A and B are shown apart, each in its own frame.
Chain A
Amino acid sequence: MKRERLKSLLLVLLIVINFALTGRILTDKKLWPNGYNFFSNMGILNISKWYSGAIDYFKGEEKDKNQILMPEKIIINTGDQTTRLSLNSSDVEFEQMAIETGKILKSAFQNKKNEVNEITKDTLYQTLLADSLYLEYHREFDAKMFSELLGGSNNSMINTDFTFSGVILTYSPKTEVYIADLNNEKYYKITGMEASKEVERLSDECIKRKGQSQTNIINYSFELGFDKTFGTQKTILNPFIQVYSTAIQMPSIKAENPFYYETGELNTGMVNKTLEIFGISPDTIGRYTKEDGEMVFVENNATMKIDTNGYIEYDATNSGIKISDGKSIYSDILGVLKIINKVNSTAGRGNEMYLSGTDENRDIITFDYSVSGVKVKLEDKKLSSGVEVVVEDGYLKSYKQLVRNYAVTNHMTTPMEFFEALDNSILKYSEFMNEIRIEKMNLGYSDNGSVGEKNIDWIVNVDNVIVADE
């Protein structure tokens, strides 16, 4: 009896081995011509690719979520100006730190058990002079919008209507969030969140890694007293602007139009893939080319234009493309990001983009490029943001993008020193102004929409100019 069982087991094993080895020979060795039979197509199906694709999809979803509220930079305050650090997305710890701080902020803004108290300006400033983090965002938010963009609950626990573009976070000994509403000169502290050891660990790691090589001293404008005028001083800096002691050397970038090869030949593969992203079949679509070389694709529900400079424009003539449930700005932005990231990865380098604006009705959403954590200020004749979209009730109605690949070059450039750049930027107002307020001043790449090399420069955002009486 035992012998019979052993025989049966051996037989089953041999059959299994037979199928496994035969399958391997048929699929891997490709003994049949392609497209001829079932087995060679099985090789094309490649189940492992499906699996990794599914993983990538979910990872991508998570990445998109993190991308929505990614800060422009994180300043690690150590209590000393000499060891104060500035991180951006080119630093290895940045993304993880942004995710971890995002968790704290989500809890701070959405957990009703937390306490929100009004504090004095000096108390808030003191936190920046001690161990803390300052998260500076690309744009201004109101508390409700900020809370929505953190995802999860749409209800901000903070009912106060205030705006800010930066958040201060302390993590030791207590986890607290500080916010300055500069429009109303009110300052708030949110307490009650759980301590995050991970944020502390990441901060310590950065200080260890970058602290020794740090040569540029960073001071906040308020530390130096430049946030208030005295005597003949007409310039006022936002208190959180970081003043750098020396010039910063950075590489230039090269802007490439991915729709054309370097030889000047049209990349038809890129054109077709872009059409497919917008649900347009390149094989069946009606098309014509204008005199200036702009390609126009027309179908029943939409038109798509691709010009010779890499500018694409999708306009829905019907309902548009369903990109979200339309219930929140968060889901709309997430839907738009998926399309943006598809276009950018099709273009090649998959450049980073950040949310740079939303209109009052929350229909028009803009995104801009950044390269190694440094923003690209676009001033193209057709578009002043990298991407501009119109979303209505979860449907994408219009999509405009100047599609670019930005490559970092080996050419190092040194922009002007902080005050030289500031002086130059306000010189044009100085004759007639009584007072000028500078909202933001950061390094960035200016792009006029042309291809080629772009040097680093200071981007100065003027908040207000008070003109002198005649």
Chain B
Amino acid sequence: MLSYYRVKEGKGMLKKIISVLLISASLFVLVPAVGYADFQNTISLYEKGNTTGIIYIKRPESHSASTSDRTYTISAVGNPGTRIKVYKYNPFTGNCGIIKNETKIGASSMYSVVVDLTSDSNIFVVTAENEKGSQAVRIDINKIKKSTVNKLKNVTVTIRDFIW
């Protein structure tokens, strides 16, 4: 009788050990996966991802620009295999909706996307994901009048102006 209980107790212990092992294994698999989880079709404007250095925005270099044009081309470089999506901020919902579906960066490491500028203030979020993690970059493109652009082109600012 005693040995029967010991066997039963032993089986229960085994179950517990297996459960602990399974939970640990699933945590081991799932935790990083949560970190690399795909960005959904809607993301927050404040999304940053979990790392940096996955993607480098080449245009606009300062992540913001002004233009009188109807479209703007955002360009970037990243490691081959990096998955890129582009979102646009919607002030009515307060979120960013996807406007360009996933594209994988190829052997050239280059990526570019043309976005429409529908309002005076256009906010885009470019997301990038690969085995290193995820990154989201905010880009602001302001639409200004052509005459203002021409005026700005004629303004010459030299370093000397700042020194003196």
Contacts and interface: CB of A to CB of B under 8 A. Distances in A.
Interface stretch (B5-13, B34-42, B89-97, B103-111): B103-111
Contacts of A420: 106
A419 interface: yes
Nearest to B111: A419
B112 A245 contact: yes
B71 interface: yes
Interface string A207-246: 0000000000101000111100011111100000001010
A252 to B, nearest CB: 25
Interface of A: 79-82, 126, 130, 217, 219, 223-226, 230-235, 243, 245, 419-420, 422-424, 426-427, 430
B68 interface: yes
B107 A233 contact: no
Given A80-B68, A219-B73, A234 B59 contact: no
A431 B64 CA distance: 35
B120 interface: no
B78 to A, nearest CB: 8
A420 B58 CA distance: 19
A35 B112 CA distance: 73
A234 B109 contact: yes
A70 B68 CA distance: 34
Interface in B100-147: 106-114, 146
Nearest to A234: B109
B79 A232 contact: yes
Interface of B: 53, 56, 58-59, 61, 68-73, 75, 77, 79-80, 106-114, 146, 149, 153
Nearest to B70: A82
A424 to B, nearest CB: 8
A430 B108 CA distance: 9
B154 to A, nearest CB: 11
B58 A419 contact: no
Contacts of A82: 69-71
Interface centre among B59, B79, B108, B112 (most CB of A within 10 A): B108
A80 B107 CA distance: 30
A234 B153 CA distance: 33
B112 A219 contact: yes
A409 B11 CA distance: 77
B70 A223 contact: no
A243 B107 contact: no
B106 A419 contact: yes
A419 B79 contact: no
A232 B79 CA distance: 7
A219 B59 CA distance: 12
Nearest to A228: B58
A233 to B, nearest CB: 4
